[in-house]
Structure 1
Amino acid sequence: MIVGIGTDLVVIERFKRMLDERPKLGERLLTDGERRLSVESQAARFAAKEALAKALGSPGGMRWLDCEVVRSDDGMPSFVTSGSVAARIEALGITRIHLSISHDGGYATTMVVCEA
């Protein structure tokens, strides 16, 4: 059963400007591994975290670093969660999270579907 759906769209140039103007922002939003990626991929991962938060009902108190977007050997993206994000997933009884990511033409977009 679907218990949450979230989507997000990020303008990559705007995201880059935010990171340039506030250097510590990247450390609050993205894990070390995520910050090593291109700005397009960083924007897509931020969008994925936003979409997941929406799918989880946007509860307060969730930490950005309690969620990391990773890729399997075949390139499929997924989340690794801990702390506040993992607790919310458990509270909702979520057993599977689907994630789709795309970035092109100056935009990064994501879709998340949570199942229980």
Structure 2
Amino acid sequence: MIIGVGIDVVDIERFGESLARTSGLSARLFTASEGARPLASLAARFAAKEALAKALGAPGGLHWQDAEIVSESSGRPLLEMRGTVLARANDLGVAAVHVSLSHDAGIASAVVVLEG
């Protein structure tokens, strides 16, 4: 059963300008391992976190670093949840999370599907 679906699109250049303009923003949004990635990858990961929040019903109180996009050795992205994000997912009965990332032509996008 599908519990939630979220999608988000990010303009990569504009996102980079926001990171440069706002001191500490990258540290608030990303874990240390995520933060070491190139800008297009960061934008796609931000889109995934936004898509996840939407799939969870966009409740207040979610912490950005409680969701982390990691990659399998094959490159396939996985979404790891902990803390506030995991608590909300558990409340909804989420048993599986599917995530897809893309970036091309200056745009990053992500889709998240939550399954119960």
Q: Tell me the equivalent position of 1:68.
A: 68
Q: Tell me the equivalent position of 1:30.
A: 30
Residue type of the alignment partner of 1:104:
D
- Provide the C-alpha distance between the structure 1 equivalents of 2:73 and 2:111, rounded to a whole number of angstroms: 21
1:75 Cα shift? 1.3
Give TM-score scaled by structure 1 length. 0.98
SS of 2:58's partner is coil
Q: Tell me the equivalent position of 1:8.
A: 8
Residue type of the alignment partner of 2:103:
H
Q: Tell me the equivalent position of 1:102.
A: 102
Give TM-score scaled by structure 2 length. 0.98
- Provide the C-alpha distance between the structure 1 equivalents of 2:16 and 2:73, rounded to a whole number of angstroms: 28
Q: Kindly, what percent of the aligned residue pairs are identical?
A: 49
Residue type of the alignment partner of 1:62:
L
- Provide the C-alpha distance between the structure 2 equivalents of 1:114 and 1:10, rounded to a whole number of angstroms: 21
Aligned-residue RMSD, C-alpha = 0.6
Question: Structure 2 regions of 5+ residues with no counterpart?
Answer: none
Displaced runs of 4 or more, over 6 A: none
Paired residues, number: 116
Residue type of the alignment partner of 1:53:
A
